[in-house]
């Protein structure tokens, strides 16, 4: 990460910049998150590193109280850049392809030549190069499949539908065979990986409850379409029960115990993840892809790798997530749980939220560590 004069920004400088915003007595109006990326000028990325301030929509400074104006630079001289990201929400299916009942802020972005439009255009050359690869029949990943490839519709019996991200297994130190434990006399347990809000209904589902494929919104019924049972999940902290400034959310992730023959690590359209990538090696500008229940296969670029952002979960509340990956928009409602990978199938993140402008994903390193599972035995 380079500073305004081309020097390297230290981790302490990054943390200080974030703290300067988060410790304010009153939050900036319209601001939903922060991160680090590159500054934009005249609709183009300059390559100059900056603290990014994410807002639902841009408002002229003349219309804002002075206390709500984002400073042009941090105390250490690092420039800031305001990015309109719309309304960010957890992307479980609502049947409308969106996960927010009202997208008023997103609609106000339409037709405006702002940075948000330029972000969306970042992935366009890649889509054109790949031709019609993203134009698939919309029902393709919503049907029942056994064994079920990653990328298909799935969900707890209590929810509508999300996406089966991958098949993972308990971490076995020193295991070098596939499937893990083969020939070692070690019993293996396999899981489907997706989001907490897909498999565990945002903390509300009981362990052992049924997970269906396809999800209920796509016609799945219990017990005929049961593919797994809820094994464990990482609890999400929500406001107003817990104030946003006290949230320590880093993943929206859960596991369902599955029989090995009922699901596969093969991601539809892409193949199995061949490795996973540490956070330190995920960079702004990287090309990524995902396969999901609603928008099939889609491609984009990383905007920020360490974002703090507030996510709307509807009736469950709002949750603040730290250390997140933001990309150009590669998702819609129902794509939650999709595995985000590099173009050569290295696992990078677990998709869980987004808007009409951006998509938000957990770092796969955090998911792997907190759930204590392995997604691929190689590190890239």
Domain boundary among 39, 63, 84: 84
Domain boundary among 84, 111, 145: 84
Spatial contact of 342 and 241, defined as CB atoms under 8 Å apart: no
So what's the pLDDT on residue 292?
A: 96
Give the pLDDT score at 134: 47
Per the domain annotation, does 343 fall within a domain?
A: yes
User: How many domains does the chain fold into?
Assistant: 2
**pLDDT attached to residue 188:** 67
Full domain range(s) for residue 231: 121-374
- CA distance to 24, 52, 212, 230, 233, per residue, from 17 (Å): 12, 10, 43, 39, 31
Instruction: Please check whether residue 71 is in contact with residue 51, taking contact to mean a CB–CB distance below 8 angstroms.
Output: no
Residue 300 lies in a domain: yes
- Same domain, residue pair 72 and 220: no
Judge whether 336 and 330 are in contact, CB under 8 Å: no
Per-residue confidence (pLDDT) for residue 36, from 0 to 100: 86
Q: Token match 């219990």: residue?
A: 222
- Confirm whether 42 is domain-assigned: yes
- Do both 80 and 140 map to the same domain? no
Query: For residue 196, what is the domain's CATH number?
Result: 2.40.10.120
Question: What span, in angstroms and rounded, lies between the C-alpha atoms of 328 and 195?
Answer: 20
Residue 96 lies in a domain: no
- The per-residue pLDDT for 95 is 57
**52 shares its domain with 157:** no
* pLDDT tens, N- to C-terminus, the chain (380 residues): 333 333 334 555 556 555 555 555 456 667 888 898 887 666 566 788 888 989 888 776 667 666 667 777 777 777 888 888 999 999 877 654 433 333 323 323 333 445 555 555 554 444 444 444 445 565 689 999 999 999 999 999 999 999 999 999 987 554 444 444 444 444 468 999 999 999 999 999 999 999 999 999 999 999 999 999 999 999 999 999 999 999 999 999 999 999 999 999 999 999 999 999 999 999 998 999 999 999 999 999 999 999 999 999 999 999 999 999 999 999 999 999 999 999 999 999 999 999 999 999 999 999 999 999 999 988 88
d(CA 346, CA 340): 9
Specify if 115 maps to a domain.
no
User: What is the 3-class SS of the chain, one letter each residue?
Assistant: CECCCCCECCHHHHHHHHHHHHCCCCCCCCEEEEEEEEEEECCEEEEEEEEEEEECCCCCHHHCCHHHCCCCECCCCCEEEEEECCCCEECCCCCCCCCCCCCHHHHHHCCCCCHHHHHHHCCHHHHHHCHHHHCCCCCHHHCCCCCEEECCEEEECCCCCEECCEEEEECCCCCCCCCCCCCCCCCCCEEEEECHHHHCCCCCCCCCCEEECCCHHHCCCCCCCEEEEEEEECCCCCECCCCHHHCCECCCCEEEEECHHHEEEEECCCECCCEECCHHHCCCCCEEEEEECCCEEEEEEEEEEEEEEEEECHHHCEEEEEEEEEEECCCCCCCCCCEEECCCCEEEEEEEEECCCEEEEEEHHHHHHHHCEECCCCEC
Q: What is the pTM of this model?
A: 0.84
CA distances from 127 to 220, 287, 318, 338 (A): 32, 11, 33, 19
Kindly state whether residue 379 falls inside one of the protein's structural domains: no
Tokens of 246: 């006290």
β-sheet bridge partners, residue 318: 239, 312
CA 304 to centroid of chain Cα atoms = 12
- CA pair distance 338, 226, nearest whole angstrom: 19
At residue 310, the pLDDT reads 95
Q: Is residue 90 part of a domain?
A: no
Asked if residue 113 belongs to a domain, the reply is: no
Whole-angstrom Cα distance, residue 313 to residue 249? Answer: 13
């Amino acid at each position: 990460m380079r500073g305004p004069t081309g020097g390297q920004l230290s981790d302490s400088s990054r943390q200080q910049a974030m703290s300067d915003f988060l410790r304010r007595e009153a939050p900036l109006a319209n601001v939903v998150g922060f991160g680090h990326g590159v500054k934009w000028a005249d609709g183009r990325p300059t390559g100059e590193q900056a603290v990014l301030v994410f807002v639902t929509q841009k408002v002229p400074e003349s219309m804002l109280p002075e206390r709500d104006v984002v400073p042009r630079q941090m105390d250490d001289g690092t420039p800031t850049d305001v990015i309109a990201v719309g309304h960010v929400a957890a992307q479980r299916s609502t049947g409308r392809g969106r996960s927010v009942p009202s997208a008023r802020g997103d609609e106000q972005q339409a037709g405006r030549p702002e940075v948000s439009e330029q972000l969306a255009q970042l992935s366009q050359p890649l889509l054109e190069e790949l031709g019609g690869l993203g134009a698939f029949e919309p029902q393709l990943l919503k049907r029942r499949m056994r064994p079920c490839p990653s990328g298909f519709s799935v969900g707890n019996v209590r929810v509508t539908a999300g996406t089966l991200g991958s098949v993972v297994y308990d971490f076995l130190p020193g295991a070098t065979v596939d499937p893990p434990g083969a020939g070692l006399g070690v019993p293996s347990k396999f899981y489907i990986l997706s989001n907490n809000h897909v498999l565990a209904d945002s903390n509300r589902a009981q362990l052992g409850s049924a997970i269906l494929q396809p999800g209920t919104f796509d016609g799945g019924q219990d017990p005929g379409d049961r593919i797994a049972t809820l094994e464990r999940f990482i609890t999400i902290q929500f406001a107003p029960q817990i104030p946003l400034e006290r949230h320590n959310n880093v993943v929206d992730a859960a596991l369902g115990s599955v029989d090995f023959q009922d699901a596969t690590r093969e991601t539809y359209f892409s193949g199995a993840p061949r490795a996973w990538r540490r956070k330190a090696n995920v960079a702004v500008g990287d090309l990524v892809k995902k396969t999901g229940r609603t928008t099939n296969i889609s491609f984009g670029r990383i905007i920020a790798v360490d974002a703090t952002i507030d996510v709307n979960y509807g009736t469950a509340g709002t949750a603040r997530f730290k250390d997140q990956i933001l990309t150009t928009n590669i998702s819609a409602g129902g794509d939650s749980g999709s595995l985000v990978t590099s173009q050569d199938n290295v696992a990078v993140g677990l998709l869980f939220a987004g808007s009409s402008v951006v998509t938000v994903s957990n770092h796969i390193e955090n998911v792997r560590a907190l759930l204590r599972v392995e997604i691929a035995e190689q590190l890239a």
